């Protein structure tokens, strides 16, 4: 066991003896064996124990056990207590998810505060197999089929090279004490049902199913890594960043569309169903709109436009006309100039420049409004008598939905 964990840490490049570690120790056999193996390897670590107060006296027993363990070996310890039931209710989470979030949030907070390099947790290979099956039941791709990975950011798992049986045998042979968590015996949680019911059923079909699933997860690791490398290359060619706006050129996606868009859009919070619908949009179509909690996407011809969601506020600005006035309005900064023209100048006043407009001062009045356009707005094009809808003009200019939303009108005092 000692040599295997030593070799595993080196092979996976988890951490070195120069780095300071946090060990999450619950008092159960997995974390206790991790504690002893890393202690023997002479790594520099402190222990964190989280008391979630979910099992009454048993929770207090676990805390006292871990305190005694650290005291015996002169290892610094931090104990954190949580009111898990209240937190779960407040955040509308299951007890299991609430405890997980509280634990990892505090681990990271403590790591940053005390300048530790990594957080060690004691997941083993059986945990990884259970996670793989959980993901498969819920629906997943290659990423979910990898199971639990040895390193994920600042979280490292040096015990993944062992099965639960090997850990139990090690504790027994070394006569290392540990505590039992009674909640692991029930079937309330999905993970427990997979452990106690599904895996034994699968073993009736294949006695070596654990080894088979573990081998499969390694293949999916390679598949996922290769897929990510290819997608990164495609991403570089099809994405254009323009400030907060990201333009995605669908014509340059040389990969299965839905699979690539899952890779690209999932980090922005788009649901699998939304991504599926986006992938089915015909290239060249415009006007469709999809939302995630923090972002939105518009289809615009051969592109997708990705933007952060912002509250759409009504832009309304009144400008009192002066002889020469610079509008204090960014980014519309405009210069107004009132000039008297004779009949000859009036006939020549048309200016084709898109940056200059000649207006009739008598009809416009002395106070104007700048606002966002809305449905039903109209104008009379220069040289014509009939009205034209603003929406028709914007469509003819082939503006995207986002560009249409940000289009402003210069109106008379009443906003007309």
The CA distances from residue 186 to 47, 92, 134, 182, 196, in Å, are 28, 23, 17, 8, 9
Q: Locate 376 and state its tokens.
A: 């039903």
How far apart, in whole angstroms, are the C-alpha atoms of residue 33 and residue 46?
A: 15
Backbone angles phi, psi at 162, to 5 degrees: -115, 150
Q: Is the dihedral of CA 402, 404, 409, 414 positive or negative?
A: negative
How far apart, in whole angstroms, are the C-alpha atoms of residue 232 and residue 263?
A: 10
Q: Locate 344 and state its tokens.
A: 């000859």
HEC-encoded secondary structure of the chain: CHHHHHHHHHHCCCCCCCCEEEEECCCCHHHHHHHHHHHHCCCEEEEEEEECCCCCHHHHHHHHHHHHHHHHCCCCEEEEECCHHHHHHHHCCCHHHHHHHHHHHHHHHHHHHHCCCEEECCCCHHHHHHHHHHHHHHCCCCCHHHCCCCEECCEECCCCCCCHHHHHHHHHHHCCCCCCCHHHCCCCCHHHHHHHHHHHHHHHHCCCHHHHHHHHHHHHHHHHHHHHHHHHHHHHHHEEEECCEEEEEHHHCCCCHHHHHHHHHHHHCCCHHHHHHHHCCCCCCEEEEEECCCEEEEEECCEEEEEECCCCCCCEEEEECCCEEECCCCCCCCEEECCCCCHHHHHCCCCCCCCCCCCCHHHHCCEEEEEECCCCCEECCCCCCCCEEHHHHHHHCCCCHHHHHCCEEEEECCCC
For the chain, give every residue range classified as CATH 3.40.50.620: 2-219
| pLDDT (tens digit per residue) in 165-177 | 999 999 999 999 9
β-pairing, 239-242 vs 245-249, is antiparallel
For residue 201, the model assigns a pLDDT of: 96
Backbone angles phi, psi at 415, to 5 degrees: 80, 20
Per-residue pLDDT of the chain (416 residues; tens, 9 = 90+): 999 999 999 999 999 999 999 999 999 999 999 999 999 999 999 999 999 999 889 999 999 999 999 999 999 999 999 999 999 999 999 998 999 999 999 999 999 999 999 999 999 999 999 999 999 998 888 899 999 999 999 999 999 999 999 999 999 999 999 998 887 777 878 889 999 999 999 999 999 999 999 999 999 999 999 999 999 999 999 999 988 889 999 999 989 999 999 999 999 988 888 889 888 887 777 778 788 888 888 888 888 889 887 655 445 554 554 444 444 444 455 666 666 666 666 555 555 566 667 777 777 676 777 777 777 887 777 667 778 887 788 777 777 666 676 677 777 766 56
For the 2-219 domain, the top CATH level (class) is alpha beta
Q: Which of 282, 275, 235 is CA-nearest to residue 255?
A: 235
Confidence (pTM): 0.70
């Amino acid at each position: 066991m000692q040599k295997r964990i030593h070799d595993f840490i080196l092979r996976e490049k988890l951490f070195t003896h120069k780095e300071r570690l946090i060990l999450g120790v619950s008092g159960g056999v997995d974390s206790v064996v991790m504690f002893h193996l890393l202690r023997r390897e002479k790594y520099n670590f402190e222990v964190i124990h989280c008391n979630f107060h979910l099992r009454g006296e048993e929770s207090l027993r676990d805390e006292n056990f871990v305190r005694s363990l650290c005291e015996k070996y002169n290892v610094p310890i931090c104990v954190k207590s949580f009111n898990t039931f209240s937190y779960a209710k407040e955040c509308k989470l299951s007890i299991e998810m609430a405890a997980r979030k509280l634990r990892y949030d505090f681990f990271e907070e403590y790591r940053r505060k005390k300048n530790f390099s990594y957080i060690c947790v004691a997941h083993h290979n059986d945990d990884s197999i259970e996670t793989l099956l959980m993901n498969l039941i819920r629906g997943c791709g290659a990423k979910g089929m990898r199971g639990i990975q040895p390193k994920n950011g600042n979280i490292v798992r040096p015990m993944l090279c062992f099965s639960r049986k090997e850990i139990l045998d090690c504790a027994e042979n070394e006569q290392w004490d540990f505590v039992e968590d009674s909640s692991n015996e029930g079937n309330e949680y999905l993970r427990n049902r997979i452990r106690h019911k599904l895996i034994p059923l699968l073993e009736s079909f294949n006695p070596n199913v654990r080894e088979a699933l573990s081998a499969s997860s390694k293949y999916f690791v390679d598949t996922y890594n290769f897929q990510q490398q290819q997608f990164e290359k495609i991403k570089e060619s099809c994405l254009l960043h323009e400030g907060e706006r990201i333009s995605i050129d669908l014509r340059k996606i040389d990969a299965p569309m839905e699979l690539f868009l899952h890779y690209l859009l999932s980090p922005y919070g788009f649901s699998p169903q939304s991504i599926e619908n986006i992938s089915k949009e015909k290239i060249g179509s415009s006007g469709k709109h999809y939302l995630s909690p923090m972002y939105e996407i518009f289809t615009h011809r051969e592109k997708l436009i990705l933007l952060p969601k912002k509250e759409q506020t009504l832009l309304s600005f009144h400008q009192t006309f002066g002889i020469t006035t610079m509008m204090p309005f960014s980014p519309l900064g405009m210069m107004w100039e009132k000039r008297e023209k004779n009949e000859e100048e009036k006939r020549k006043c048309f200016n084709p420049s898109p940056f200059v407009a000649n207006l009739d001062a008598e009809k416009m009045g002395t106070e104007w409004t700048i606002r966002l356009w809305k449905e039903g707005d109209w104008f009379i094009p220069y040289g014509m008598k009939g009205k034209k809808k603003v929406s028709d003009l914007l469509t003819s200019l082939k503006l995207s939905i986002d560009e249409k939303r940000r289009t402003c009108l210069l109106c008379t005092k009443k906003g007309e």
